[in-house]
Amino acid sequence: MCGICGILGLEGRPADPILLKGMVSQLRHRGPDGRGMHRDGALGLGHARLSIIDVAGGYQPMSNRDGSLWITFNGEIFNYVELREELETRGHRFATKSDTEVILHLYQEHGKDCVQAMNGQWALAIWDRRERTLFLSRDRLGIRPLFYTTADETLLFASEIKALLAHPAVTPQLDLIGLDQIFTFWCMLPPRTAFRGIQELPPGHSMTVRNGAIKLERYWRLAYDGEPDAARSEESYAEELRDLLLDATRIRLRADVPVGAYLSGGIDSAVIASMARECVGGRLKTFSVAFADPEHDESPYQQEAAEWLQTEHHSVLCANADIALEFPEMIRHTETPILRTAPAPLFRLSRLVREQGYKVVLTGEGADEFLGGYDIFKEAKIRRFCATFPESRRRPLLLKRLYPYLSGLQSQSPAYLQAFFRMRPGDVNSPFFSHLPRWELTAQLKMFFSRDVREELSSYNALAEFAASLPSSYGSWHPFHQAQYLEATCLLPGYILSSQGDRAAMAHSVEGRFPFLDHRVVEFTTRVPPHLKMKALKEKYLLKKAAGERIPPAVRDRPKQPYRAPDAASFFPPGGETQPEYLQEVLSPGRIRQDGIFDAGGVEKLLEKARRGRTIGVKDNQAVVGILSAQLWMHHFMRGVNHADDYSRGHGQGIAPVRR
């Protein structure tokens, strides 16, 4: 896996080789094994390479035999073996063993529709020399990143935003609407990024650029439109899921380097590791994060899974202070403010993987979204159940079963539970019923915004923007499917696969692969009836059934624990140990006022509370992490601090006025 970038003069201006080189060098961490560039008039393609498939022959940018097509590609096409066989029967001849070359031939055969045949994770650009057309594409679910912008009549694109900032006319400015979305949804809605004027190519989209005109096209969309097959048995669904997952895992083991697996202690990664072991037929190397903080630590379950699967297991211990230590560099990689520290431990984990000589790991991402694992699905189910009999005092008690790990909630009286999960008339009809409590709680963090920022955002409504993007048939879907759609199209690409996924792994040149995100698995799960995903309040029911004895019963039957890391406590140790120095700098009242995003008085009160160890609630923790990460974002990108490059900039002018 790699980093890609490119430029195209929309008015025909020749591509600047120095700029291109500057862009590639910003992506070095993604591809330390080599770099390449190709220029053709107004077009320039760049590539930073991490060699995984066809280590000897896979150099990029790569052209076809007659040089009419050029590609720069980040990712993997896992079914390239089958696609190649098919293409060979149609007369295509191949010069390398790489999946990259297969894409070129596939494009030659099908043009932009080539992506329909591809099973994988990709961000790619193909230059069609004869047609003078540039084609960009990103995988269905947003596993691999691709950002773009235009400046100075030039289209620029890259795997990470830092490469776009190499262009002197691209000025980093915080996008306030993006900030509003983060402080609502925990992430931004595609195509928005934290940088004003810089977009991401949304998941499931391609872009064609011809004669200076940019055209975006959706080639795939998650939809729950199919009718469930009432006659089909549980066993039959479980069997198909097992077969699909096995095949998804099998093709994800294709690599010319060894492939390892993460073990989180939960069932998803254990299922994938067990299938990988079956496919490999030998000993598998597995990796985990262990937390010094017992509240977050899952190492006994990780050990249990490793022993059951007889893997060679390695783990890295993460103390609260380690999170504080890694956090600033993590934000330089996420390129966005975030409300959780959870990417930081995974950033350490990818370092361990790299030190062990591994470049590729399989993980369990996607199971919670597509097979019904998240508490938010359960919560919505209980709230809907309560809504049918609002006066019931017994029904809200079910909510206690939801969050066994939240001690604050466990000690609440039924009357309070009922009040917290209260519903207003009309809530049950909202397209966002499942997510309203989360989003409304998070949106309260906006009280920390400065007066200017609040004024700028006063007429903006993040929920209305999201509502406008929902598919036309959304209203007819089962409520469980609606909730799944919201998770899978918002938080999954916007945070889980990016800040906590690609960026945390690629910071140390490690590629994640996700069998649950094979589009055949995903499309299958859209046809599974909701009651098989979550039976009563049993989450991931079908997956557990499909997993059977593959994974240890202790792991299969344990209560669900979402992956979390210590948040405020990482920066404000309860024992009063020394806080990291950068905290004083980026959170000082002077700096807060200078940057202008937050209200200095409010932040100071929050920090006082944090120093006393009193920021214990979800909201306070999110406030601490959100404010700190936004301030670090400003620090890195507006002030160019810690950047060993040529785009350090002056102070101020960092916040863009709202523009829709």
Partner 1 sequence: MPTITAGDMAKELRQFVVDNFLFGRDRPFSDEDSLIENGLIDSTGVLELIAFLEEKYAIRIEQAEMIPDNLDSIHNLSDFVRGKRQAPA
Contact residues: partner 1, CB under 8 A: 406, 408-409, 411-413, 415-416, 419-420, 422, 440-441, 444, 447-448, 599, 601-603, 605-606, 609, 614, 616-620
The angle that helices 436-443 and 375-387 make with each other, rounded to 10 degrees, is 110
- Nearest alpha carbon to residue 309 among 270, 259, 353, 281: 270
Residue with tokens 């776009």: 164
For residue 116 the two structure tokens come to 């329909």
- Nearest alpha carbon to residue 543 among 310, 342, 324, 369: 369
For residue 59 the two structure tokens come to 């150099």
CB of 414 to partner 1, least distance (A): 9
**CB-count exposure of residue 549 (10 Å: 0-12, 13-18, 19+):** exposed
Q: For residue 59, which amino acid is it?
A: Y
3-state secondary structure of 131: coil
CB of 308 to partner 1, least distance (A): 36
CB of 500 to partner 1, least distance (A): 24
Which strands form 213-218's sheet, in the order they lie side by side?
A: 62-63, 69-77, 120-128, 133-138, 205-210, 213-218
Greatest alpha-carbon pair distance for the chain in Å reads 74
Residue number, 226 or 408, with CB nearest to partner 1? 408
* Percent helix / strand / coil, the chain, rounded to 5: 45, 15, 40
Angle at 128 between CA 124 and CA 132, to 5 degrees: 120
The CB density around residue 461, as the number of other CB atoms within 10 Å, is: 11
Run of H or E including 15: none
CB of 430 to partner 1, least distance (A): 17
Residue number, 246 or 441, with CB nearest to partner 1? 441
Residue number, 169 or 447, with CB nearest to partner 1? 447
The CB density around residue 226, as the number of other CB atoms within 10 Å, is: 10
CB of 418 to partner 1, least distance (A): 9
Residue number, 347 or 598, with CB nearest to partner 1? 598
Residue number, 479 or 613, with CB nearest to partner 1? 613
Q: Which residues neighbour 478 within 8 Å (Cβ) at sequence distance 6 or greater?
A: 224, 530
Residue number, 428 or 447, with CB nearest to partner 1? 447
Residue number, 222 or 603, with CB nearest to partner 1? 603
Kindly tell me the sign of the dihedral angle through the C-alpha atoms of 94, 100, 103, 108.
negative
- Annotate 287-335 with DSSP letters as a single string: EEEEESSTTT--HHHHHHHHHHTT-EEEEEEE-HHHHHHHHHHHHHHH-
The CB density around residue 367, as the number of other CB atoms within 10 Å, is: 27
Residue number, 392 or 413, with CB nearest to partner 1? 413
Q: Which residues neighbour 588 within 8 Å (Cβ) at sequence distance 6 or greater?
A: none
Residue number, 356 or 444, with CB nearest to partner 1? 444
Angle at 480 between CA 476 and CA 485, to 5 degrees: 75
CB of 298 to partner 1, least distance (A): 23
Residue number, 605 or 651, with CB nearest to partner 1? 605
**CB-count exposure of residue 480 (10 Å: 0-12, 13-18, 19+):** buried
CB of 408 to partner 1, least distance (A): 4
Task: Give the C-alpha separation, 286 to 302, whole Å.
Answer: 10
Cβ pair 284, 312 in contact under 8 A: yes
CB of 299 to partner 1, least distance (A): 27
Residue number, 357 or 617, with CB nearest to partner 1? 617
CB of 344 to partner 1, least distance (A): 23
Cβ pair 378, 368 in contact under 8 A: no
CB of 569 to partner 1, least distance (A): 14
Residue number, 14 or 601, with CB nearest to partner 1? 601
CB of 447 to partner 1, least distance (A): 6
CB of 114 to partner 1, least distance (A): 49
- Nearest alpha carbon to residue 343 among 361, 322, 357: 322
CB of 641 to partner 1, least distance (A): 27
Residue with tokens 């830092």: 162
CB of 185 to partner 1, least distance (A): 17
Task: Give the C-alpha separation, 54 to 65, whole Å.
Answer: 18
Residue number, 130 or 451, with CB nearest to partner 1? 451
CB of 411 to partner 1, least distance (A): 7
Cβ pair 146, 123 in contact under 8 A: yes
Task: Give the C-alpha separation, 429 to 479, whole Å.
Answer: 10
Residue number, 32 or 602, with CB nearest to partner 1? 602
Alpha-helical segments (H) within 149-233: 161-164, 176-185
CB of 434 to partner 1, least distance (A): 18
3-state secondary structure of 175: strand
Residue number, 396 or 493, with CB nearest to partner 1? 396
Question: Radius of gyration over alpha carbons of the chain, in Å?
Answer: 24
Residue number, 287 or 571, with CB nearest to partner 1? 571
